[in-house]
Structure 1
Amino acid sequence: MKAIELEKAYNPKDFEDRVYSAWETGGHFQPKSGPESPFVVVIPPPNVTGVLHMGHGLNNSLQDIVVRYHRMRGEPTLWVPGTDHAGIATQNVVEKRLKKEGKSRHDLGREAFVERTWEVKKEHHETITRQLRKIGASVDWTRERFTLDEGLSRSVREVFVTLYERGLIYRGNYLVNWCTSCGTALADDEVEHEDTNGAMYHIWYELEAGSALPDGSTRIEIATTRPETLLGDTAVAVHPEDERYASLIGKHVHLPLTGRMIPIVADTYVDRTFGTGMVKITPAHDPNDWEVSKRHNLPVINILNPDGTLNAEVPEKYRGLKCPAARKAVIEDLKELGLFKEEKKITHAVGKCYRCNTVVEPYLSDQWFVKMRPLADKALDAWKKGEIRFYPQKWENTYSRWMEGIRDWCISRQLWWGHRIPVWYCRDCGEMIVSRDDPASCSKCGSAKIEQDSDVLDTWFSSWLWPFSTLGWPEKTPDLESFYPTTALVTAYDIIFFWVARMVMAGLEFTGKAPFRDIYIHGLVRDKQGRKMSKSLGNGIDPLEIVDEFGADALKFTLAFMCAAGQDILVDKESFKMGSRFANKIWNASRYILGNLEGRELVSVPKSGLTELDRWIYHRLNAAAGAVRSALESYRYNDGAQAIYEFFWNDFCDWYVEATKLSFRNGDDAEKNRAVSVLLSVLEESLRLVHPFLPFVTEEIYGFLPAACARSADDSLGLAERASLLISASYPESNENRCDEAAEARFTALQEMVRSIRGLRVECGIDPASKIGIALFTEAGSDAAVAREKVDILQMLAGLSRVDFIPSPSDRPKGAIGTVGKGFEAFILVGEGVDSGQLANRFEKEILKEQGNASRLEAKLGNASFVSNAPEDVVAAEKSKLDELRRRIEKLSGYVADLR
């Protein structure tokens, strides 16, 4: 056999695009039929006008790892890709472009505007799909969906009409969250609350003639953060049991600046211990006031236009002003009238639009709503029955709390881009028609003068159907039959409310089944300072920049390695060097093995032909396979990444590959053939083990392996054809027949011995490249006795010129420096390449340094103030450091005594 030459330098740009193309064109992303239950994941659809950020990089990397793992297990595996039309975000992108042209959407008209938006969608969609390919996402592109495609549009309409028929969708004039910039209503979950610097403004309201407080005062004090809203006040409220104001209930006050009189009502909503215990009631602009108004049949006065300016319900001088300007004008006028008491600076939570960060206004308007309580009760019950399970489990509390306190969902949006609400109104008879199909005429009077509701549905209204609409529902398609319910959802915690909980509700309501079994919630990717990545901070990292610099495998492996359950990930660009170094290690180890095939013949190796070293590496490989399988079955990505890293880098490369060099150095042809066959077998299986985490480099190397490669079986290594591509190869099994606890114990002892000797060399300042001799004592019957049989391995791995076995530690040579481990003591033979005087001087300097450190710690611990005030664990840690320093000083002093 000829040597196989890999390129000397690992360069992912040489093969990643080619490898991905081979996977995709070969149909390897499509589910294969088989006896196993399918494993199905639907991608959290990115916004079609967005660009993938590092959060997408993490989310898609984690999905890809688990999808590749289950695919290699032989399960019919489907990962459904797709994008979301993102109503508000996409419309904003198009409107900004039009603004640069000096136009608005109204200049184009609805139809032309929607056509322009489809063009933008196409442009951005191509960018997103290209990015997903670059990071290696093994999605089934033949099943790609879009939330506005024909099939999903039909699903959306079916759900709307069905919910309406079931009495779960209704239309009404209610207080909603309104974004004046986007010009649309928002659901409660789309409002992000930020602590903002503001003020509490204290204002005097004058009582009607003949009324007074018990102290004789004829005016009351009201405090508000939004004084401009007083123009829409319709009452003042006090607590019914507040004795201070009992005589005023039913009386009236003059509403400043308006000429109106408003009543004083009693309501338990008022906190009588807060402020003055009197609250202005503005029903159209505060959700709590809205509820008070319903209890007392108060008028509701909306003072805002949709664009956030004040409307004709306010005095003329304030009309057309935006809220900040109106606030300033109101305060100035109140001061002039002597009705402004004071302003106190405060910090308070202010609701802002999750898309454009504009301050959200409570706003009264006609909107469509979904009654959520009946849907939420089913979803809560499914969780209690264990039909869905969260990883990590702590997120169950977030899910259940939100479900228990759920409010109706405002689903209408005042946009042009999205699913048009399937409701029509007859201009002749006023009939409202809710229909699955576009009607040609009024169902009541037959008039053709009907027009469709101008609003569109909330983007999440199509997204909550994603697990089953993407598979063809409401049609009974083969995909729906085969792949629903899906298996797992992988997503971030910030959309548990927006998306996860709603999908569970929709799945149960329309299919009778929870849409997935496992819900893995990962953290967010943040910068090294723990800040959320954002354009405004300029701290974002483009995943494609990482791919370009380090490769897709480095991106995927690093993120998985750092993804501890329930924690956010703190990264910068330097972080990805770790994944790059690991990929490079895999490349170089494989290059070495394949480069040693010259003149070799691959052979079948019976179990009896395996050396103890071989049995040890198979034991370690078996343990790693079990650890990775266990980790991925419970979505512990970092544990799986750690297991493959420790096995491949440490066990395989640093120990096994190094130790096998003895066979190539000293063995005859038969031994070399045997050794290379086993080595290739372990490499081939290791590549299969690592593949889900580093798919590109493992696939590229796998293609260079000999077509007939030794494959491990229960009791032998037989020659077998490798798979055409690694992506379709089988994942390593954990098989107890390959366990060898004795070999594991003996080689663990040998590893401890080597590490101890290496550590002693470092402590003595001995050049790692220089060969030294040691005297070694091993306890009879201990695992450490393996050194007597494996002395050649010990010498090679520890960099030794010779090993002299001694009957007891007392027989050590004079001046030898020792280290102790379980079942052994090893002594460096000073004098053989080691200057004893120079070494003694080194130790004496180290002693002086450590004595200084010890003195400082002793002084610190002798300080009564520190000991009494510092936390117990801090004091204990300092004491432990001091004990360790004293032990080290004692040990070094012993070395010096021996050397002198």
Structure 2
Amino acid sequence: MTETEQPTTSPVELAAAYQPGEVEVRRYEQWVDSGAFSADPASDRPPFSIVIPPPNVTGSLHIGHALDHTIQDSIIRRKRMQGFETLWLPGMDHAGIATQNVVERQLAATGTSRHDLGREAFVQKVWEWKAESGGTILGQMRRLGDSVDWSRERFTMDEGLSKAVQTIFKRLYDDGLIYRAERIINWCPRCLTALSDIEVEHSDDDGELVSIRYGDGDDAIVVATTRVETMLGDTAVAVHPDDERYKHLVGTEVELPFTGRRIPVVADEHVDPSFGTGAVKVTPAHDPNDFEIGQRHGLPSLVILDERGVVTAHGPFEGLDRFEARPAIVAALRAQGRIVAEKRPYVHAVGHCSRCKTTVEPRLSLQWFVNTAPLAKAAGDAVRDGRVRIEPVELAKRYFAWVDNMHDWCISRQLWWGHRIPVWYGPAGEVVCVGPDEQPPAGEGWRQDEDVLDTWFSSALWPFSTLGWPADTPDLQKFYPTGVLVTGYDILFFWVARMMMFGLYAMDGRQPFDVVALHGMVRDQYGKKMSKSFGNVVDPLDWMDRFGADATRFALARGSNPGSDVAVSEEWVQGARNFCNKLWNATRFALLNGATVGSPEERSEAQRSDRGGSAEGPLPTELSAVDKWILSRLQHTVAEVDEYFENFEFAKACDALYHFAWDDVCDWYVELAKPVLAAGGAGAAAGRRVLGHVLDQLLRLLHPVIPFVTDELWSALTQQTSVVREAWPVVDRALVDDAAEAELASLQRVVTEVRRFRADQGLKPGQRVAATLSGLAEASIAAHESLIRSLVRLDEAADDFAATATVTVSGGVTVALDTRGSIDVAAERARLTKDRAAAEKEAAGCRAKLGNEAFTAKAPADVVAKINDRLTAAEAELVRIDAALAALPA
């Protein structure tokens, strides 16, 4: 071989097969140890930052996390390669209710309660639990490949973040945006705390609708309720002012059974006269709508259930649990003849605690609230005026529906684990809110508020508190506002709106992020919600153990479209693993055949001269049409992937990369290159260089989504340390070659049609057949005849050549083949005849169904459409088989 035929670098050996477990831990440790993920606020590079949605300290990596983190990691890795100073900031949420429940259960197992310990000792016990058992998910994030800056890890109860919480509470309080009042709130009788609206999960449950007669004779009025036990706290009956049926009763009183109290009949426009009897019982202390009616009419509010849902009203039902009291009261009313109607089952919406699933009880309670009106308006304006973009745009209407109709936010929780409300009460009724740099009041009789803040209160500060706010730190100056928030659409209200409100308020109108990129929920392959009760819940750690982190990531990302749910199955993860293996084998082939990315000296010079380039030496000036074709396809792929990434269309980006890698590179270019590489000479040298370049660029493009295998392969290919901070590929318009693409498309059509013919005739893949090819010059592919013959195992025609079969390809190419002796004609004819009979039977059955008016009139449209599709497929199969039979030699 001449000098030009030799690779410029020594070949590097790769193992025969990819072993994810051997690569992943080693690669991740190398990344972290080298500081590959560290952010530098002093850098002159443009900033790009993401703050991770902080998982609960009690949590572990579930399939939703795996999707969310894969998307974020893909974004941040690409931005890092594009030359941005990137920060992906990790951390955890203290998860007030969830964490307190965990520790309380541990104490209960030993016969102890938090009250036995006392507040200070209990909180210390939670900190001990956090140190020993909390944060499991952080290690699992490493397994997934999260390229976060671990030096900046945060926790919502850290000293710095606690200072931020106290600071913003004080500011909001001083501005009149935090207040304390008696209001109807959602109460969990199990967790013994108030809940915000977004911590309540609603479901349609079976219940009963009971109609009760209040009063007797002409003054009687019938009301209907699903919560009979609350009648003990009724302080009025309400009707619509225009309801003629009850006008004579408005202003009168009726006797409330069991209580000895007489309650007024009031007129209120809130009442729907068309629902039920048109009259409703009013229980201001146990229903939010009733509370508003009570406020308008000056009605008293009687709390008749205690914090555990036990009846406190004096009388025969005192001491009963709410669900015990309900049937007891119904039975007592029935005995009095006051039950007018009972409807069972009656399906209605019931709220449940999102943590423990206990039925929530609306309850009048003294709590702390945020006045959200001005904050929510600012949050809506930031999206309307374009400071913040929601992707996909159609989900913006959900955001507006929430922020434009937001109720005041109940922020106090009756817990011990969390940020304690920084308010002190004095012996003479004084109320003092204390800032982080102020001393709380001292002296006898002063006490701090017992409640803690809603977990979402501190999470709402996450984009700026984690960067050092309220101090004006270098991190805050460099990385705020963050570039994008990636999260599921299911917490658009929980978290996104709250971060918008507090970010705009604390940061003088500067939004916490420029883009909100929303993705959907992960579902099974049939689109069904994952649930333990359905038995279809997937553990991503199991998939990572069996198929590797890259395969898990690629399967999830390939199903992710903006705002849409993601269907995934084990088979798709297996397919993603096969894809990783395909890349491994292609790179291994390239290395064994001397593929190059330029000499080390050329690469160093390229890196010094232009970071945005490929960090490799120049490509050869003399290139074959095949080389020009793959380089042109590469440019189109880079452009497509860039567009899809910018639009958060990860499924399309992965699909484009998959087909370029598998189809263009592996199935076509590598196969086309094999005979060239084997022949040697200048063409082989150029081919090695182009193959190395294409794989170099492909591995860079794939790295954000499948970082482990690409880093291992890229390092072997280039003999450099890591691709993590290498330049992202850019389109080189000079390499776009439409003529080469058209030429290779013609070649591919010929090869594909001949391969299809061979398969139809039952020819073995390695079996060679004599053939003549005509029309190649007219199709502009005459120069590729030897390649075509190599790819489809066609020999030159000998003197005794006889064309027994012909393949005609669009574009005017004809391939005549001599199949004598190549196939068992009788066996092949028998096989095809059998297949034809089966296809004819299928077609006849479909025609019979479609010709039956009784069937087509009654069957669903999609069923009829499927029968039509089956008929079309069967008829196409008949055409194919007939052509194959005709092509058989006599």
Alignment counterpart, residue 183 of structure 1, candidates 177, 192, 200: 192
What secondary structure sits across from 2:269 in the alignment? Answer: coil
The answer to whether the aligner puts 1:641 opposite 2:622 as a matched pair is: no
- Identity score, percent: 45
Higher mean alpha-carbon deviation, 94-103 vs 670-679, is at: 670-679
Name the structure 2 match of 1:818. Answer: 807
Q: How does 1:665-814 map to 2 (within 5 A)?
A: 665-668=678-681, 671-707=683-719, 722=720, 724-778=721-775, 781-782=778-779, 785-786=780-781, 788-802=782-796
Contact 1:53–1:540 under 8 Å retained in 2: no
Work out the CA distance in 2 between the residues paired with 1:773 and 1:353: 76
The answer to whether the aligner puts 1:304 opposite 2:298 as a matched pair is: no
Structure 1: which amino acid aligns with 2:224? A
Contact 2:561–2:648 under 8 Å retained in 1: no
Q: 1:735 to 1:606 in 2, by over 3 A?
A: closer
Name the structure 1 match of 2:38. Answer: 30
What secondary structure sits across from 2:594 in the alignment? Answer: coil
Q: Normalised by the size of structure 2, how large is the TM-score?
A: 0.92
What secondary structure sits across from 2:482 in the alignment? Answer: coil
Work out the CA distance in 1 between the residues paired with 2:432 and 2:249: 49
Q: 1:640 to 1:599 in 2, by over 3 A?
A: closer
Alignment counterpart, residue 166 of structure 1, candidates 166, 175, 179: 175
The answer to whether the aligner puts 1:109 opposite 2:118 as a matched pair is: yes
Name the structure 1 match of 2:637. Answer: 624
- Using the TM superposition, give the Cα deviation of residue 470 of structure 1 relative to its aligned residue in structure 2, in angstroms: 0.7
Q: 1:837 to 1:776 in 2, by over 3 A?
A: farther
Q: Could you list the per-position Cα deviations for residues 381-436 of structure 1 after superposition, in whole angstroms to 9, with x for gaps in the alignment? A: 11111111122122101101111111111111111011111100002x21100120
Q: Normalised by the size of structure 1, how large is the TM-score?
A: 0.91
Name the structure 2 match of 1:808. Answer: none
Q: Could you list the per-position Cα deviations for residues 57-105 of structure 1 after superposition, in whole angstroms to 9, with x for gaps in the alignment? A: 1111111111100101111111010100011111111111111111111
- Using the TM superposition, give the Cα deviation of residue 844 of structure 1 relative to its aligned residue in structure 2, in angstroms: 3.0
The answer to whether the aligner puts 1:78 opposite 2:87 as a matched pair is: yes
What secondary structure sits across from 1:4 in the alignment? Answer: coil
Q: 1:851 to 1:705 in 2, by over 3 A?
A: closer
Q: 1:301 to 1:117 in 2, by over 3 A?
A: same
Q: 1:775 to 1:872 in 2, by over 3 A?
A: farther
The answer to whether the aligner puts 1:122 opposite 2:134 as a matched pair is: no
Structure 1: which amino acid aligns with 2:623? L
Alignment counterpart, residue 485 of structure 1, candidates 481, 486, 491: 481
Contact 1:776–1:803 under 8 Å retained in 2: no
Work out the CA distance in 1 between the residues paired with 2:597 and 2:699: 21
What secondary structure sits across from 2:126 in the alignment? Answer: helix
Q: Could you list the per-position Cα deviations for residues 343-378 of structure 1 after superposition, in whole angstroms to 9, with x for gaps in the alignment? A: 211111101111111000001110111111111111
Work out the CA distance in 2 between the residues paired with 1:284 and 1:845: 79
- Using the TM superposition, give the Cα deviation of residue 439 of structure 1 relative to its aligned residue in structure 2, in angstroms: 5.8
Q: 1:595 to 1:49 in 2, by over 3 A?
A: same
Name the structure 1 match of 2:624. Answer: 611
Alignment counterpart, residue 153 of structure 2, candidates 125, 130, 144: 144
What secondary structure sits across from 1:692 in the alignment? Answer: coil
Work out the CA distance in 1 between the residues paired with 2:595 and 2:459: 57
Work out the CA distance in 1 between the residues paired with 2:148 and 2:618: 39
Name the structure 1 match of 2:421. Answer: 421
Alignment counterpart, residue 498 of structure 1, candidates 494, 497, 520: 494
What secondary structure sits across from 2:61 in the alignment? Answer: coil
Q: Could you list the per-position Cα deviations for residues 735-767 of structure 1 after superposition, in whole angstroms to 9, with x for gaps in the alignment? A: 111111111111122122222222222222222
- Using the TM superposition, give the Cα deviation of residue 769 of structure 1 relative to its aligned residue in structure 2, in angstroms: 2.8
Name the structure 2 match of 1:395. Answer: 395
The answer to whether the aligner puts 1:474 opposite 2:483 as a matched pair is: no
Structure 2: which amino acid aligns with 1:689? L
Work out the CA distance in 2 between the residues paired with 1:5 and 1:818: 42
Work out the CA distance in 1 between the residues paired with 2:860 and 2:523: 30
Work out the CA distance in 2 between the residues paired with 1:353 and 1:600: 59
Contact 1:382–1:388 under 8 Å retained in 2: yes
- Using the TM superposition, give the Cα deviation of residue 874 of structure 1 relative to its aligned residue in structure 2, in angstroms: 6.7
Name the structure 2 match of 1:344. Answer: 343
Structure 2: which amino acid aligns with 1:255? L
- Using the TM superposition, give the Cα deviation of residue 599 of structure 1 relative to its aligned residue in structure 2, in angstroms: 13
Name the structure 2 match of 1:809. Answer: none
Structure 1: which amino acid aligns with 2:460? W
Structure 2: which amino acid aligns with 1:658? E
Q: 1:658 to 1:893 in 2, by over 3 A?
A: closer
Work out the CA distance in 2 between the residues paired with 1:339 and 1:685: 80
Alignment counterpart, residue 593 of structure 2, candidates 596, 600, 612: 596
Contact 1:601–1:673 under 8 Å retained in 2: no
- Using the TM superposition, give the Cα deviation of residue 840 of structure 1 relative to its aligned residue in structure 2, in angstroms: 3.4
Higher mean alpha-carbon deviation, 65-74 vs 116-125, is at: 116-125
Name the structure 2 match of 1:456. Answer: 452
Name the structure 1 match of 2:838. Answer: 849
Query: Which stretches in structure 1 are left out of the alignment for 5+ residues?
Result: 708-721, 806-811
- Using the TM superposition, give the Cα deviation of residue 640 of structure 1 relative to its aligned residue in structure 2, in angstroms: 1.1
Structure 2: which amino acid aligns with 1:794? I
Q: Could you list the per-position Cα deviations for residues 186-214 of structure 1 after superposition, in whole angstroms to 9, with x for gaps in the alignment? A: 1111111101011111222224xxxx43x
What secondary structure sits across from 2:245 in the alignment? Answer: helix
Q: 1:873 to 1:600 in 2, by over 3 A?
A: closer
Structure 1: which amino acid aligns with 2:109? K
Q: Displaced runs of 4+ in structure 1, greater than 6 A?
A: 598-605, 871-874
Q: Could you list the per-position Cα deviations for residues 100-145 of structure 1 after superposition, in whole angstroms to 9, with x for gaps in the alignment? A: 1111110110000100111122234442211111110000011111
- Using the TM superposition, give the Cα deviation of residue 254 of structure 1 relative to its aligned residue in structure 2, in angstroms: 1.3
- Using the TM superposition, give the Cα deviation of residue 567 of structure 1 relative to its aligned residue in structure 2, in angstroms: 2.1
Name the structure 1 match of 2:674. Answer: 661
Contact 1:180–1:307 under 8 Å retained in 2: yes
- Using the TM superposition, give the Cα deviation of residue 827 of structure 1 relative to its aligned residue in structure 2, in angstroms: 4.5
- Using the TM superposition, give the Cα deviation of residue 706 of structure 1 relative to its aligned residue in structure 2, in angstroms: 4.8
Structure 2: which amino acid aligns with 1:234? T
Contact 2:595–2:688 under 8 Å retained in 1: no
Q: Could you list the per-position Cα deviations for residues 493-545 of structure 1 after superposition, in whole angstroms to 9, with x for gaps in the alignment? A: 11000101111111111112111111111111123454433455553322222
Work out the CA distance in 2 between the residues paired with 1:410 and 1:825: 78
Contact 1:4–1:594 under 8 Å retained in 2: yes
Contact 2:597–2:717 under 8 Å retained in 1: no
- Using the TM superposition, give the Cα deviation of residue 600 of structure 1 relative to its aligned residue in structure 2, in angstroms: 13
Contact 1:795–1:803 under 8 Å retained in 2: no
Contact 1:492–1:522 under 8 Å retained in 2: yes
Work out the CA distance in 2 between the residues paired with 1:740 and 1:859: 52
Structure 2: which amino acid aligns with 1:851? E
Q: Could you list the per-position Cα deviations for residues 146-166 of structure 1 after superposition, in whole angstroms to 9, with x for gaps in the alignment? A: 111111111111111111111
- Using the TM superposition, give the Cα deviation of residue 683 of structure 1 relative to its aligned residue in structure 2, in angstroms: 2.0
User: How many residues align structurally?
Assistant: 861
Contact 1:110–1:416 under 8 Å retained in 2: yes
Query: Which stretches in structure 2 are left out of the alignment for 5+ residues?
Result: 1-8, 603-616
What secondary structure sits across from 1:703 in the alignment? Answer: helix
Q: Could you list the per-position Cα deviations for residues 544-582 of structure 1 after superposition, in whole angstroms to 9, with x for gaps in the alignment? A: 222211111111111111113332223343431122111
Work out the CA distance in 2 between the residues paired with 1:373 and 1:22: 49
Work out the CA distance in 2 between the residues paired with 1:299 and 1:795: 94
The answer to whether the aligner puts 1:95 opposite 2:104 as a matched pair is: yes
Structure 2: which amino acid aligns with 1:513? R
Structure 2: which amino acid aligns with 1:248? L
- Using the TM superposition, give the Cα deviation of residue 469 of structure 1 relative to its aligned residue in structure 2, in angstroms: 0.8
- Using the TM superposition, give the Cα deviation of residue 339 of structure 1 relative to its aligned residue in structure 2, in angstroms: 2.1
Alignment counterpart, residue 154 of structure 1, candidates 163, 170, 175: 163
Name the structure 2 match of 1:320. Answer: 319
Structure 2: which amino acid aligns with 1:799? R
Work out the CA distance in 2 between the residues paired with 1:883 and 1:541: 38
Alignment counterpart, residue 555 of structure 2, candidates 558, 564, 567: 558
Name the structure 1 match of 2:57. Answer: 48
Work out the CA distance in 1 between the residues paired with 2:439 and 2:820: 103
What secondary structure sits across from 2:172 in the alignment? Answer: helix
What secondary structure sits across from 1:379 in the alignment? Answer: helix
Structure 2: which amino acid aligns with 1:379? A
